[in-house]
Structure 1
Amino acid sequence: MSEQQVYIVLSDTGTLFTNLIKSYTRAPYNHASIAFDSELKEMYSFGRKNPRNPLHGGFVKEDVLTGTYSYYPETTCVIYKLSVTDREIEKMKRILNVFIRKNDKFLYNFLGVVGVSIKEPIEFSNSYFCSQFVAEVLKRSSINLWDKLPAMVTPEDFRKSDRLDLIYEGKLFEFEPVKRSNG
């Protein structure tokens, strides 16, 4: 069985919304995404559907060069790789295909973010926040990084996982594979 990589991207765009979250969490990164290539071209999360409207959120295929990140060139990030099996990748892709096919059925779980702060999971069907979504995809693929519900996972939990290997920290647009694809 061959080994493959998925990438966990934690980021901070510096927006009012992320600064508000950061003032509470005191964590350097407050957004989580999962990517299936090192150039971050196949990257997914729950976030802004419209870069200019933080309140219109849901499942998104993130595009570093033309999506929300393109509006925030000073975005900082940390990127981790996670070694997975072919079978785990296959499961993740199957799960993602459900999100892709039913994209309009998913909402951003704003109350779930509040639930994390009061240490009480708040879950609704078809509703996720970014780190909850990434944790859910991993869990449904039989990858358990923590002993907690996905609805309680924060971006900071990814930073503390010993199963993830740090490959980059700095400005998103200075990450070499992104620079090459932008060049």
Structure 2
Amino acid sequence: MYTEQDIWIVLTGTGTWFSRMIQYFTKAPLNHASIAFDSELREVYSFGRKKANNPFDGGLVRENLRDPFFYTSECAVYHFRVSKEDYQRMHNLVKEMMRDQDRYKYNLLGLLGILFRIHIDRDDAFFCSHFVATVLEQAGLRPVNKPCHLVTPEDFSHSPQLNEVYRGPLHGYLAQDMTSPLSPSPTFTPVTTKGRGKFFRFGKTG
């Protein structure tokens, strides 16, 4: 019986002044991380802006990547195959947090902690990659060998446990045909270039 499901990690660079400020320190082009529970990126969660025009009002959000704020962003999409039990554990945790959404705040000070490699603790406060790493760790998964509070979006791109399936404009990924079934035993090979976006496709091993 096939007992695995897929988690998707999405890195984006929105080009806002706040994103550019973070990029100044990280030297990485994609400075926002989200976790998605479907390949079409319709159920996506992170810590970020609650309103697109207010970078200071942040917290736990379900993101609409088809919104103009994200749609033209550069992105990288990573696939992570997990057991159904781990998938359900992570999904349940996020849904439970969403039921008490207003309790959670954006941990802006935590970003400073990354620069100085210290843990600036705030109750019920996360930044984007901290949240994604924490959700994964709650299921016993650590694709990045760092404490959750020190994980950056760029760290996910270097994880050997994650497979990059797309890099380019987000709208290029969202426009692709997502109806093909994924192989239980994937390898990743580039199949086409669409605009500046590079797609990868699952193929059977052996």
Q: TM-score, normalised by structure 1?
A: 0.92
- Give the letter for the 1:71 counterpart: F
**Distance in 2 between the 1:2 and 1:164 partners?**
19
Whose relative contact order is higher, 1 or 2, with alpha carbons under 8 Å and at least 6 apart?
A: 1
Q: How does 1:1-183 map to 2 (within 5 A)?
A: 2-66=3-67, 70-175=68-173, 178-179=174-175
**Distance in 1 between the 2:92 and 2:169 partners?**
31
Judge which range, 165-174 or 147-156, deviates more. 147-156
**Distance in 2 between the 1:147 and 1:72 partners?**
29
Judge which range, 119-128 or 158-167, deviates more. 119-128
| Percentage of pairs with the same residue | 39
SS of residue matched to 2:164: strand
**Distance in 2 between the 1:144 and 1:84 partners?**
12
**Distance in 2 between the 1:106 and 1:13 partners?**
23
- Bigger Cα Rg: 2
**What CA deviation, in whole Å up to 9, does each residue of 1:120-155 have, x standing for no partner?**
111212100000000000001111123321111000
**What CA deviation, in whole Å up to 9, does each residue of 1:93-119 have, x standing for no partner?**
111122110101000000000000111
Deviation of the 1:73 alpha carbon: 4.1
**Distance in 2 between the 1:162 and 1:94 partners?**
26
**Distance in 1 between the 2:69 and 2:4 partners?**
35
Structure 1 residue runs of 5 or longer lacking an equivalent are none
SS of residue matched to 1:163: coil
Deviating beyond 4 angstroms after TM superposition, the runs of 4 or more aligned structure 1 residues are none
Structure 2 residue runs of 5 or longer lacking an equivalent are 178-206
**What CA deviation, in whole Å up to 9, does each residue of 1:15-44 have, x standing for no partner?**
000001101110121000000111100000
**Distance in 2 between the 1:73 and 1:36 partners?**
18
Alignment check: 8 A CA contact 2:37 2:91 kept: no
Name the residue aligned to 2:201. Answer: none
Q: Kindly tell me the number of residue pairs found equivalent between the two proteins.
A: 176
**Distance in 2 between the 1:65 and 1:10 partners?**
15
Judge which range, 93-102 or 25-34, deviates more. 93-102
- CA 1:144–1:57 in 2, change beyond 3 Å: closer, same or farther? same
- Give the letter for the 2:40 counterpart: E
